[in-house]
């Protein structure tokens, strides 16, 4: 296999996703990315052009994911690496004070969306006999804090779902729940406010994280890992 990869990356309009895609493209890899922002996806397409492919997709909408996945397979081919990064965090509140609609949207994006992307792209990876799926977890997928119970629930679900998937995959494929560590993102600032500023920026994080993710293989499947630094 060539050293260059075909990478699918959700939630790539900002934060960790944007930082990763910039590192991947700079290293010569081909990226198919999505987010809910049409303007940001058009901007990325204009900036990077072919063979990269960016499209506005709400991963919580299965019909949209199905259509997008077909376009990805047609445009860049079967991915070598899928990174399910798209996620939202709840407005800080006690669990019983979180509105039902807000909780449902978080579950639909953070959990259902991940399964949807996997369901539509994994069969092609199985057919080619190789590939790595990285589902972004969190420290809050392995511990808890008050006022972010819905987010904790979603990331604990990602840990369990990914580990179970790893048990199901044929030889040669891998599924890894990966925590980025504590990074100064908009989501962290929503939870911690200005206190998030003491941590690394997404761009600083991605310098180490991108090559680390690219080195993940079948031997790492099912392990709860954290990016270095």
Catalytic residues: 151
With contact defined as beta carbons under 8 Å apart, do 27 and 210 qualify? Answer: yes
Q: Which two tokens stand for residue 39?
A: 């303007």
Q: Residue 134: enclosing H or E segment and its boundaries? A: strand 131-136
C-alpha span between 7 and 177 (Å, rounded): 17
C-alpha span between 153 and 171 (Å, rounded): 30
Q: Which two tokens stand for residue 136?
A: 């972004």
Q: What b/e readout covers 90-118, taking b as 16+ CB neighbours within 10 angstroms?
A: bebeeeeebeeeebeebbbbbbbbbbbbb
Residue 204 half-sphere exposure toward CB, CA atoms < 13 A: 11
Q: Residue 131: enclosing H or E segment and its boundaries? A: strand 131-136
Residues contacting 202, CB < 8 A, separation 6+: 15, 16, 18, 19, 183, 184, 185
C-alpha span between 70 and 124 (Å, rounded): 10
């Amino acid at each position: 296999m060539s050293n260059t990869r075909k990478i699918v990356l959700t939630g790539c309009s900002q934060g960790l996703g944007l930082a990763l895609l910039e590192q991947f493209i700079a290293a010569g890899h081909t990226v198919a990315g999505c987010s809910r922002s049409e303007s940001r996806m058009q901007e990325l397409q204009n900036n990077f052009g072919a063979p990269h492919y960016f499209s506005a997709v709400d991963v919580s909408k299965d019909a949209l994911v199905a259509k997008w996945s077909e376009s990805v397979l047609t445009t860049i081919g079967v991915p070598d690496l899928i990174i399910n990064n798209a996620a939202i965090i709840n407005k800080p509140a006690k669990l019983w004070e979180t509105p039902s609609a807000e909780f449902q949207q978080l579950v639909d994006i953070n959990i259902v969306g991940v399964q949807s992307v996997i369901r539509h792209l994994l069969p092609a990876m199985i057919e080619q006999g190789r590939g790595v799926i990285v589902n972004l977890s969190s420290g809050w997928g392995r511990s808890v804090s008050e006022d972010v119970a819905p987010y904790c629930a979603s990331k604990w679900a990602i840990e369990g779902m990914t580990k179970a998937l790893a048990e199901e995959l044929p030889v040669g494929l891998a599924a890894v729940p990966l925590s980025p560590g504590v990074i100064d993102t908009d989501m962290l600032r929503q939870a911690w406010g200005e206190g998030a500023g003491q941590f690394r920026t997404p761009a600083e994080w991605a310098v180490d994280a991108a090559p680390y993710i690219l080195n993940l293989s079948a031997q790492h499947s099912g392990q709860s890992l954290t990016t270095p630094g």
